[in-house]
Amino acid sequence: MIIHNDFNKLSLILCTLILLSGPARAREYHVSVEGNDTKAGTAATPFRTISRAAESARPGDVITVHEGVYRERIKPPRGGESRQKRIVYRAAPGEKVIIKGSEVIKGWRKLQNDTWKVTLPNAFFGDFNPYSDLIKGDWFNPRGRAHHTGAVYLNGHWLTEARALDDVLKPADEASPPKADGQYLLNVAWLRPGRGEENAARIAAAGFAAQSGIQKAPCSEGGECIGWIEHGDWARYEQIDFGRRTDLIEIRAASATGGGTIEIHLDAPNGELLGACPVTNTGDWQSWSSFAARVKPVSGIKTICLVFRRPKSESDTQLWFAQVDETNTTIWAQFKDVNPNEAEVEINVRRTVFYPDTPGIDYITVRGFTMMHAATPWAPPTAEQIGLIGTHWSKGWIIEDNDIRYSTCVGVTLGKYGDRWDNTSQNTAEGYVKTIERALQNGWSSDNIGHHVVRNNRISHCEQAGIVGSLGAVFSTITGNVIHDIHVRRLFSGAEMAGIKIHAAIDTHIICNHIHRTCRGIWLDWMAQGTRVTRNLLHDNHGSQDLFVEVNHGPFLVDNNLFLSPNSLLDMSEGGAYVHNLFAGRIVLRPELRRETPFHKAHSTEVAGLRNIKGGDDRFYNNIFVGHDGLAPYDKAVLPMQTAGNVFLKGARPSRHEQDALVRPQFDPGIKLVERDDGVYLHVTLEKSWAQENKRRLVTTALLGNAKIPDLPYELPDGSPYRIETDYFDSKRNAVNLCPGPFELAGDAARVMKVWPPVTAE
């Protein structure tokens, strides 16, 4: 009996020890602006800072942040253990939580005109002063001036850094905005009075008077072209016979930068304003477009002047400038009709908002925050990429439902770690190949890196890129994001600017994003293999192209996208499959024989070899091309092509590789995007009969075959085959009579479709 009781006691002790040694119960920590970091972090006694909660959180825990503005940098000291046991940082449901890398500054003293001044001790900034921190690095072009990671904000929106102090001391209305990309460039070929009849006379540009740096440019369409027109420059057209009457002038122009407005004045640049027309960026000096200007009715022999005006906002014309000495930082800024001591004026003080100090902080979720105002550095592929929020060479992050804006360089980074070789590549392909080799030695593999999810965020006002990832974005998904106003000021330049810029998008899927008002939409640079770009809406990306694929060997798949900018695709790759897209802009094929770039084993970071890009080995199935050259550039492709089932409208031409293309040179689908309160609508005219006129094959892994250089099939990351049997709206396609393009149509004629957020088609 005694033995039995001792056994029971021993069993009870053992069970208790087992329970105590088992997994701890997950905790929820609370943070409030009314909290205190010395408290317990419960709902009743919350912490004051998110950083304090980060110190306490362990795998499986949740940090809930309540409404308010938090001015801090979160440096998570640890991550989760798995996708199921992660650390979650979240805004409390239904509450607005803002995290800022800036501080409010008072004590401004008015100097003269609209200029105010404040002096701060350098100790205010601690060990990082963004007003002495220059933007620099590999593939960065400062355009002949200094740029700092600091910024000044008025009511949340940034002012523009001036080139020199003298510019800030002028009245805001007289200050000239810094030039973007050297100039706000416009190239006018000719104008034509009348209603645009093809037989009307073209009148060459002449008598150009300008402020600086003028050159003439050749015109492929006849007429004398003007080059390098800047804000305020003008061209005179003399002795123009307007006949009896005209209320329309057609201007043929090309723009390589941000576009603007052409004003039409009578007799002189300051003469009577007859009318004006907006000119968008057409993508290149020779990418001509016609712009119609409605004018007051004019008749007889007249002289008119075209005056170019750059679009500008109030904040664009308000400048700031800073100087840092051994003890103080002095900032001058223009505040037009505003007392900065009575408004919300903020300055950058932190490099980033949410970024670990060390690599390998895995399995973190960041959800529902507004994050803004970070003094981020330039993020080339050969250096540590620090964003307003970034994953820092880790695995398994989820960044979702956030509003990410106002980063000096990059919003979200999924990129490389830092080491002593950062920014030492001398801008060479060899330098990046060495970076790849070191990354493989430093754990670059599916087991350790990538597998991130970036979804349903709004990312804007970043002057390098919205999302960047060099090597660290492998096996990731980027979906449901709205990315806009990226690199729109263009005060500096370089080779890393885009809405999304990924190096090594291995098995990375870019799905259903809305990218607009950027310099370039999506840029896949080096090692896009197993990549899929599908169901994205891209438009008004006027710097370059909606999609740039650079020195990739494939296989990668681009399907069911709307490419609606003036330039749809720059193809400096091979092994791409383009399926069921709508291309409304120009397509350019450009081989790259100088650089040998890597390809990989299937679904792996392991390098299988290096080759240059001869051009070709692409597949184009069941796309719609509108205007421009269509697929004719691929007539010169070196490697074999596969093309079938495509439709060519409004003068677009098939390549010599396609024998049964459906060509309608006079058909204009009338593409127009309209933004309403509830989303973006596409107005377009398409015909259901195109499905019957040419039979099209359902695109599958078997049809696409293997990309030549890596000798690998087009397949999903798990090795299963593709079947492109749904459209842009994820609606089922009619496999018997496939409609070309991204939409499976129910009928003919003009249609209005809500394309963002995408909804199931009727």
Tell whether 724 and 739 lie within a shared domain. yes
Does any domain span residue 366?
no
Q: Do 293 and 341 reside in the same domain of the chain?
A: no
Residue 1 has a pLDDT of 39
Angle (nearest 5°) at CA 201 between 195 and 207: 105
Low-confidence winner among 20-24, 185-189, 441-445, 756-760 (lowest mean pLDDT):
20-24
Q: Which pLDDT belongs to residue 21?
A: 47
For CA atoms 105, 106, 109, 110, the dihedral sign is positive
What is the tens place of the pLDDT at every residue in 704-730?
Answer: 999 999 999 999 999 999 999 999 999
Q: Residue 17 has what pLDDT?
A: 46
C-alpha 202/C-alpha 186 separation (Å) is 18
Residue 666 has pLDDT above 80, yes or no: yes
The tokens describing 217, both together, are 């440019």
Q: Do 142 and 116 share a domain, yes or no?
A: yes
Look at residues 377, 395, 455, 384 and name the one whose alpha carbon lies nearest to residue 101.
377
pLDDT at res. 751: 85
First to last CA, the chain: 79
* CATH value at residue 132: 2.60.40.1180
| Token reading at 597 | 């770039």
**Is position 113 within any domain?**
yes
Amino acid 640: pLDDT: 96
The residue ranking higher by pLDDT, 435 or 315, is: 435
Residues 499 and 614 in one domain: yes
Q: What angle do CA 9, 12, 18 make, to 5 degrees?
A: 145
* 297 shares its domain with 258: yes
Q: Would you state the pLDDT for residue 230?
A: 57
> Residues 506, 511, 515, CA angle at the centre, nearest 5°?
110
**Are residues 197 and 140 located together in one domain of the fold?**
no
Q: Is residue 5 a part of any domain in this protein?
A: no
pLDDT tier, 237 (very low <50, low <70, confident <90, very high otherwise): confident
Other Cβ atoms less than 10 A from the Cβ of 145: the count is: 13
**Chain-centre distance for alpha carbon 231:** 26
Helix-, strand-, coil-residue percentages of the chain, each rounded to 5:
10, 40, 50
Residue among 129, 242, 123, 254 nearest 193 (CA): 242
Asked if residue 588 is part of any domain, the answer here is yes
Omega within 30 of 0 (cis) for the link into 717: no
Clarify whether residues 496 and 588 are in a common domain. Answer: yes
CA of residue 640 relative to chain centroid, distance: 32
**Residue 598 sits in the same domain as residue 631:** yes
Q: Is the peptide bond before 757 cis (omega within 30 degrees of 0)?
A: yes
Question: 341 and 259 in one domain?
Answer: no
- Residue-wise pLDDT for 100-142, tens only, equals 999 999 999 999 999 999 999 999 999 999 999 999 999 998 8
CA distance 234 to 57: 62
Query: What does the pLDDT look like over 529-541, one tens digit per residue?
Result: 999 999 999 998 8
Using DSSP's 3-state secondary structure scheme, residue 433 falls into helix
| pLDDT at residue 256 in the model | 59
**CATH number of the domain residue 202 falls in:** 2.60.120.260
Residue 3 in domain: no
Nearest alpha carbon to residue 575 among 518, 620, 618: 618
Per-residue confidence (pLDDT) for residue 680, from 0 to 100 = 94
- 704 contacts 715 by C-beta, under 8 angstroms: no
Assigned domain for 488 exists: yes
pLDDT band of residue 218 (cuts 50, 70, 90) is very low
Domain-embedded: residue 710: yes
Token code pair at residue 707: 């990309």
How far is it, in rounded angstroms, from Cα 445 to Cα 147?
36
Whether residues 127 and 236 share a domain: the answer is no
Q: Tokens 């597998």, residue?
A: 451
Amino acid at 268: A
8 A C-beta contact, residue 425 and residue 371: no
Say which residue the tokens 């800072």 belong to: 49
Look up the domain containing 140 and give its range. Answer: 102-177+314-348
In a domain, 196, yes or no: yes
Average pLDDT of the chain is 88
Model confidence pLDDT, tens digit, residues 146-157: 999 999 999 999
Query: Which residue, of 257, 290, 309, is where some domain finishes?
Result: 309
Q: Which amino acid is at 688?
A: K
Closest listed residue to residue 572, CA positions, set 533, 511, 528: 528
pLDDT digits (tens, 9 = 90+) for 271-291: 888 888 777 766 655 566 777
DSSP for residue 363: S
Q: How many domains does the chain have?
A: 3
398-425 residues labelled b (16+ CB within 10 A) or e (exposed): bbbbbbbbbbbbbbbbbbbbeeeebbeb
Residue 447 makes CB contacts below 8 A (sequence gap 6+) with none
* Residue 427 pLDDT grade (very low, low, confident, very high; cuts 50, 70, 90): confident
Output the CA–CA distances (angstroms, integers) from residue 201 to 194, 224, 240, in the order listed.
9, 14, 10
Q: Any idea what DSSP says for residue 125?
A: G
Residue with tokens 């994205």: 536
- Same domain, residue pair 469 and 588: yes
Task: Supply the CATH number for residue 714's domain.
Answer: 2.160.20.10
Q: Locate tokens 């885009």: which residue?
A: 498
What does the pLDDT read at residue 762?
Answer: 43
pLDDT at 4: 45
3-state secondary structure of 117: strand
Are 580 and 555 in contact by the 8 Å Cβ rule? The answer is: no
In this structure, are 210 and 154 located in the same domain? no
